[in-house]
Amino acid sequence: MKPLKKHVQSSPEMLPTATTHKLSKKILKKGQPKNGRTSPEKDQREIFVVSSEDIPPEELSRLLHTRKGITVNPGDNLLKRLLKLEKENLHLKSLSITDELTGLYNKRFFNKQLKIEITRTKRTGQPFCLIFIDLDNFKSVNDTLGHTKGDEFLVNLCRLISQKTRPTDFACRYGGDEFTIIMPATFLLDGISIAQRWHDLIKQMASQMAVDVSSSSGIDEYDVSCTLTAEEFLDKVDKELYNAKRNGKNKVSYPGIFPVHKTKMRSVTPAEKDALFKTSVSLTKRGKQLSAKV
């Protein structure tokens, strides 16, 4: 067999595109010198550039890049079978971290991502917020209208969540009618505002679908000074959610930033009114006297 006049580049970046090239085969002798002679101890290796209309060039490039050193027989369609296997693996990986019904991330992904965000906060100094949402009265929807209606509400809600969350946020279905949203690089005041918007959107969707559902939410911030573990921080936010449930549901609960002490209002007595009037008159006269002196 005649040696090649020119070495073939096996790098994926040098592969031809799928729309302009057919199946081709070239023989590249490993360690081939410029004069075409091959050392007897060096083996020959077949390099195939395979492309077709049904294999996108980027997938073909990635596949070959991850399968370096493979000798492919063009007669057994191995490359297409490898590509199919690659797609199946990606699909299985997606199923392992997403919720089947809603398409949001699942609890397994959430538990891992929460630890990642804590590590990121300690490294960068930027806080993040966690919202824990629980739907009020959702069980009654399944009991009175059926699980199909309940699933429809969850799917529509999660579609809305996917559309409205920021690209950097992680929305997860924690389980049943409970949802979590991790918001990186977010301070508590901003997080409270976002949580309140979610509260209003859920109420609006429930009204549109004619179901008696609201939401209770707990939210808190994890900053660089926090020493809680992922499990402890989640438990802290869960307690805020419990506070919202305990205090009548249909609200957002969060740690107090500027505590407001409410006092019981009462009517002013006649004696107090008379004292206030006399004080006002006295101050008015004194003001006029000072003005006259000036």
Q: Which domains does the chain have, with CATH numbers?
A: 12-83 (no CATH), 107-253 (3.30.70.270)
DSSP E strands: which ranges in the chain?
Answer: 24-29, 44-49, 128-136, 170-175, 178-183, 214-222, 252-253
> At 141, which helix (H) or strand (E)?
helix 138-145
Look at residue 261 in the predicted model and tell me its pLDDT. 36
Q: Which residues pair with 130 in a beta bridge?
A: 182, 220
From the candidates 134, 136, 177, 220, give the one annotated as an active-site residue.
177
Backbone angle region of 185, left / alpha / beta, with phi > 0 → left and psi within -120 to 50 → alpha: left
Assess contact for 215 and 237: CB atoms under 8 A.
no
Per-residue pLDDT tens over the stretch 8-65: 444 444 444 443 334 444 444 444 555 555 454 444 544 444 444 455 666 656 655 6
Kindly give, in sequence order, each residue whose CB lies less than 8 Å from that of residue 140, ignoring residues fewer than 6 positions away.
212
Reply yes or no on whether 99 is catalytic. Answer: no
Q: Which residues pair with 72 in a beta bridge?
A: none
> At 169, which helix (H) or strand (E)?
none
More confident residue, 38 or 209: 209
More confident residue, 271 or 41: 271
Residue 28 has φ and ψ, to the nearest 5°, of -115, 120
> At 235, which helix (H) or strand (E)?
helix 230-246
Assess contact for 117 and 184: CB atoms under 8 A.
yes
Per-residue pLDDT tens over the stretch 68-99: 555 555 555 766 666 766 666 655 555 568 88
The percent of residues in the chain predicted with pLDDT above 90, rounded, is 47
CA–CA dist 282, 31 (Å, integer): 108
Residue 214 has φ and ψ, to the nearest 5°, of -130, -165
CA–CA dist 74, 173 (Å, integer): 45
- Taking the complete model, does pTM exceed 0.75, yes or no? no
Residue 44 tokens, joined: 């020959």
Cross-sheet strand order for the sheet of 128-136: 170-175, 178-183, 128-136, 214-222, 252-253
> What is the pLDDT of the chain when averaged over all its residues?
75
Look at residue 172 in the predicted model and tell me its pLDDT. 95
CB neighbours of residue 232 within 10 Å:
10
Look at residue 168 in the predicted model and tell me its pLDDT. 93
Residue 7 tokens, joined: 């070495």
